[in-house]
Amino acid sequence: MAWNWQHADWPNFAWTQDKLLRAERLFAEGAGIMIGASRHLSPEGRDALVVDVLSSDAVDTSAIEGEVLDRDSVQSSIRRQFGLASDQRKSGAAEAGIAEMMGSLYRSLADPLDQACLCDWHRMLMNGRRDLGTIGPYRTHPDPMRIVSGAVYAPRVHFEAPPSDRVPMEMERFLAWLRNTEVGGAYLQPVTRAGIAHLWFESIHPFEDGNGRIGRAIAEKILSSGTSEPALVPLASTLLTHRKAYYAALEAASRSLEITDWLLWFAAKVIEAQRRSLALVEFTIAKTRLFDRVQGQLNPRQEKAVLRLFAAGPDGFTGGLSAGNYRRITGATTATATRDLADLVALDVLSRTGERKSTRYHLKVPIQPVRPITIADIT
């Protein structure tokens, strides 16, 4: 069976727009709610939210590709990108590179996407790599660009991209489409446009490596350009949760120019990501209110531990905070940890569950879990 770019009508994708109307409406409504909720944040709270979103997105978009990054190092690097106070920890090349790219993405949300921007992102993302022939410019190698899995002697080819000599022309056509569909008569609504752009970019696969991470950044940029105020929709975090289904949906869509099924699947994940983002805004507001309420009542150890719990985000500290975790985070003795934790419970900062070795502590803030969004929810 031919790949999508081998069809005679490539890249004239076809889809049923009526099936996406509710998803577009839900996205627009969610954007309005996000903007309204964000206005309750102080400038410091907004800075913290941006850092949290970009840090999680950077770590999760890398995790989709099987690359495990140090979250604290990424966050520290992103804070430096925005001139904010950081712990000045030394970051690895991969952490510094993805942090620089995410900073560039956020600062250029309102700018048109062009080749120079994409190539800059690739140079940032491939920071420290010595195993690639081309970093920055599009790929030029004569070998087929394939996505494969399985044993070396019996690989399964999930996709094969156009030959390298076609990449400049393909990318020129792709970038022209992006310009033409942003405004004017060829305008496409953001969810549809982001879904097409992500699939199209991945189908071209213009770089030697990093195409998935850059492709998701493109989708997030488009989704943010569809709102009245800059706001990232942390798509990568949601796609990581559905990683296997994500790869399967991309593979299925890469064989046809009729992409309604792909766009519906993608739209459901966009709405889920947007709701996760709103949960993070509400979580950040709760954090501000909690610290305002207990101002001057926490010692440095307690403050450090509570900040570490908040850094885990709305999904919480995995398994809850144990006394052992508290000692490792703060350096406290066993007796001091017991006393500190009891005080935090008394202050209604933490709640306690379990007994003895099973005792765990959780932030006492309202957290609304975000359930998975299916195609049935948006049609």
Catalytic residues: 205
Distance CA 208, CA 187 (A): 31
* CA 26 distance to own-chain centroid: 20
Q: Are 100 and 107 in contact (CB under 8 A)?
A: no
Between CA 23 and CA 250 the distance in angstroms is 19
Q: Which residues of 91-130 are buried (b: 16+ CB within 10 A; e: fewer)?
A: beebbbbbbbbbbebbeebeeebeeebbbbbbbbbbbeee
C-alpha to C-alpha distance for 68 and 278, rounded to whole angstroms: 26
247 annotated among ligand-binding-site residues = yes
Tell me if residue 224 falls in helix, strand or coil.
helix
212 in a labelled binding site: yes
Backbone Cα Rg of the chain:
22
Asked if 60 and 74 count as a contact pair (C-beta separation under 8 A), the reply is: no
The two structure tokens encoding residue 379: 């049609």
Q: What is the dihedral of CA 146, 115, 176, 159, to 10 degrees?
A: 10
325 known member of a binding site: no
Neighbouring-strand partners of residue 361? 321, 352
Q: What length does the chain have?
A: 379
Instruction: Judge whether 127 is annotated as a binding position.
Output: no
| Distance in angstroms (rounded) separating the CA atoms of residues 135 and 124 | 9
Q: Is 209 annotated as a binding residue?
A: yes
The candidate with the shortest Cα–Cα distance to 124, out of 220, 203, 186, 209, is 209
Q: Is 185 annotated as a binding residue?
A: no
Query: Which runs of E-coded beta strand occur in the chain?
Result: 146-149, 156-160, 350-353, 360-363
Q: Which residues pair with 157 in a beta bridge?
A: 148
**What is the rounded CA–CA span in Å between residue 30 and residue 36?**
10
What's the angle, vertex CA 92, arms to CA 91 and CA 98, rounded to 5?
Answer: 90
Q: Is 216 annotated as a binding residue?
A: yes
Alpha-carbon distance values, 370 to 45, 241, 245, 279 (Å):
22, 12, 18, 8
Structure tokens at 251: 């593979």
Number of Cβ within a 10 Å radius of residue 53: 25
308 is in an annotated binding site: no
- As annotated, the binding site includes 209-216, 246-247
- As annotated, the binding site for ATP includes 209-216, 246-247
